[in-house]
Amino acid sequence: QLEELQSNQESLAQEIEVRHSEEIYSLKEQQAKVQDELKRSHDSEKKALQEEFERTRLLLQDQVDTLTFQNGSLKDKARRFEEALQRDSAETVQAALAPYQHIQEEMASLQAVLEMRAHTIHQQQNRILELEKLDETNVALKEKVRALTQQNEELKARVNKNSAMTRCRQLSFEHSALQETLVKESKTNKRLSMENEELMWRLQNGEGLGSPGKGSPSSTSSSISFRFPPSRSPASMSPS
């Protein structure tokens, strides 16, 4: 029975260990899937935003170059206009002013467009900064997940250790009870064996079973013949 209990204890410990390993493996797989999904989503969004930013930057750069060229052209025209003012008479000035009556409005419009483009570029830059912060947050979250996983494994190890210690204490108590029962049975068998040997001795020496005989602590009758099985020592009664 002790060997069977030990075998059951080992089987239970192996089963707990296998189940714990399977749970850890499942948790690690789930963690890896979540991390991979987060990384793919983050990388995809970051790549899309970077591509959009690059397209917008190139487009805005082209527009800025165009507007810069137009602004330079207008400034050149204004310079020529000022030179014409200095050279020509009032009629010449009026004639020269005709094509450039809306120069101020055009320059104001160009300035507004440039400010809008600059604002758009600033927004794109802020978005990229937010993505970089999100990437740092993701790294911190991964580290936190790793720490929580380690804590979970340590907690499971403590739980399994406590369960194993409880089972060992229970088995030790059962072993003590069995050992006590074995000692009691061994004492009983020894007592019965001694009584059996005493009766055999009396029969072999022809003493009466009803009256006490010399050299014997108990009384027997000589008119009754008994056959007793061979006596067994206490060692033969102990379990294998």
Residues 211-228 have a mean pLDDT of 40
**Tokens found for residue 167:** 């089972």
CA–CA distances in Å: residue 46 to residues 49, 50, 52, 107, 197:
5, 6, 10, 37, 97
Residues of the chain above pLDDT 90, percent? 0
Answer yes or no: are the C-beta atoms of 207 and 213 closer than 8 Å. yes
pLDDT in tens, 118-157: 888 888 888 888 878 877 877 887 788 788 778 877 877 7
Beta-carbon contacts of 121 under 8 Å, excluding residues fewer than 6 positions away, are 56, 57, 60
Residue 98: burial class (beta carbons within 10 Å; 0-12, 13-18, 19+): exposed
Phi, psi of 205 (to 5 degrees): -95, 5
